């Protein structure tokens, strides 16, 4: 009997040892997530993390640069991306389509500028566009919405036309920014709207009489009657990730704040990093161009107010651009910790 009890005890201890070992092993297993960013200027919003954080809070992080809006939409819809930077209105479309996504915060506030070979910045006013052809890319997207809102607010009539129309602004859309830059260089284009980094490329390639005559982010504030520009891109995360590891999402959000401040101090290391990773970053894109991308992360009630004001305008312009309706309140992730961190960081940096 004693032998049987001894054998049972030994077997029990052996089983417990196996379970204990397995439990310890599970605790040390590193989780992993994928963070996706669209190629181009928006990738700067995650460049600091790409350079310095392959692991966050014990979680392995894989960064992926995808091909523009289509690529980022696919990465988020498929569930491949756990965290992403993407167009703010696209996040609303996906949320309204029952994709498991939440807006953690805004990331950038516009990067569009009016360029001209015909007038200087001092000579320019929106009236300068009357009787002219304004060349731009992004038909059906942010550039079109921003330009039309600004013109409507200034009570300036516009038409979509490839040729000038007396007393009105003719909007001519191009499929590629390179076409617009070529036209500026050949003096066949007098007025254009481009976004960074194309603005930097145009200034260097055209040179001479080409000037930035208007910051469309400032024009938007006037047109929309808001203190903030339009929140063009946002930081988003899976709702399931927020539920399972809220602290990780908070940490990532805080690091985007740190990254924005580092970009302002010295953008070169992050531009070089994106080039090394194969991102589309032209050699003409430097620190001044980075500042013109307006990467200014915002969170909490401030971000929500900016986004809702933007979405109200988009809804009036074309409701499908936000998925047909304003997203419900649970679209927004709110963390007083992140909001306070961002506010303190900005104040310290001043």
Task: Say if CB 292 and CB 196 are below 8 A apart.
Answer: yes
d(CA 100, CA 116): 43
**What CATH number corresponds to the domain at position 94?**
3.40.190.10
pLDDT the model gives residue 120: 92
319-338 residue pLDDT tens? 999 999 999 999 999 888 88
The domain boundary residue, chosen from 195, 224, 253: 224
pLDDT the model gives residue 234: 95
123-153 residue pLDDT tens? 999 999 999 999 999 888 889 999 999 999 9
Residues 238 and 297 in one domain: yes
Residues 245 and 323 in one domain: yes
Residues 219 and 240 in one domain: no
The domain boundary residue, chosen from 224, 251, 267: 224
The domain boundary residue, chosen from 224, 243, 276: 224
Residues 79 and 176 in one domain: no
Domain interval for residue 188 = 112-224
Structure tokens at 115: 């360029």
pLDDT the model gives residue 29: 44
Residues 216 and 151 in one domain: yes
Residues 179 and 247 in one domain: no
Residues 126 and 265 in one domain: no
Flag residues of the chain having pLDDT under 50. Answer: 1-30
pTM for this model (two decimals):
0.84
The CB density around residue 13, as the number of other CB atoms within 10 Å, is: 10
Instruction: State yes or no: cis peptide before 197, omega within 30 of 0.
Output: yes
Residue 63 backbone phi and psi in degrees, to 5: -100, 140
The CB density around residue 64, as the number of other CB atoms within 10 Å, is: 15
Residues 123 and 43 in one domain: no
Task: Say if CB 263 and CB 118 are below 8 A apart.
Answer: no
Residue 186 backbone phi and psi in degrees, to 5: -90, 0
In a domain, 18, yes or no: no
Q: Which residues pair with 55 in a beta bridge?
A: 60
Residues 198 and 239 in one domain: no
> What one-character DSSP code corresponds to residue 30?
P
pLDDT the model gives residue 350: 66
Residues 121 and 200 in one domain: yes
Q: How many residues does the chain have?
A: 350
């Amino acid at each position: 009997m004693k032998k049987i009890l001894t054998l049972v005890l030994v077997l029990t201890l052996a089983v417990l040892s196996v379970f204990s070992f397995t439990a310890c092993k599970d605790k040390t297993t590193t989780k992993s997530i994928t963070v996706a960013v669209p190629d181009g200027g928006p990738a700067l919003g995650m460049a600091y993390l790409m350079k310095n954080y392959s692991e966050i809070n014990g979680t392995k992080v894989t960064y992926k640069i995808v091909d523009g809006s289509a690529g980022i939409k696919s990465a988020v819809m498929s569930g491949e991306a756990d965290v992403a930077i993407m167009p703010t209105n696209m996040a609303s479309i996906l949320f309204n389509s029952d994709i498991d996504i939440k807006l953690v915060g805004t990331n950038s506030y516009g990067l569009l500028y009016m360029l001209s070979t015909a007038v200087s910045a001092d000579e320019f006013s929106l009236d300068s566009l009357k009787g002219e052809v304004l060349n731009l890319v992004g038909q059906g997207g942010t550039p079109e919405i921003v330009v039309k809102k600004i013109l409507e607010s200034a009570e300036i009539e516009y038409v979509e036309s490839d040729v000038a129309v007396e007393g009105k602004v003719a909007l001519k859309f191009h499929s590629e920014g390179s076409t617009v830059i070529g036209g500026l260089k050949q003096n066949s284009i007098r007025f254009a709207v481009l976004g960074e980094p194309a603005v930097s490329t145009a200034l260097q390639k055209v040179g001479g009489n080409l000037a930035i005559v208007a910051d469309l982010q400032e024009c938007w504030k006037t047109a929309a009657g808001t203190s903030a520009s339009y929140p063009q891109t946002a930081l988003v995360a899976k709702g399931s990730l927020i539920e399972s590891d809220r602290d990780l999402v908070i940490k990532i959000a805080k690091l985007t704040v740190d990254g924005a401040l580092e970009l302002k101090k010295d953008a070169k290391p992050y531009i070089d990093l994106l080039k090394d990773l194969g991102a589309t970053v032209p050699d003409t894109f430097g620190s001044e161009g980075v500042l013109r991308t307006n990467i200014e992360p915002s969170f909490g009630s401030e971000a929500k107010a900016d986004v809702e004001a933007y979405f109200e305008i988009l809804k009036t312009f074309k409701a499908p651009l936000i998925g047909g309706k304003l997203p419900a309140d649970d679209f927004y992730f709110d963390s007083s910790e992140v909001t306070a961190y961002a506010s303190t960081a900005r104040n310290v940096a001043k």
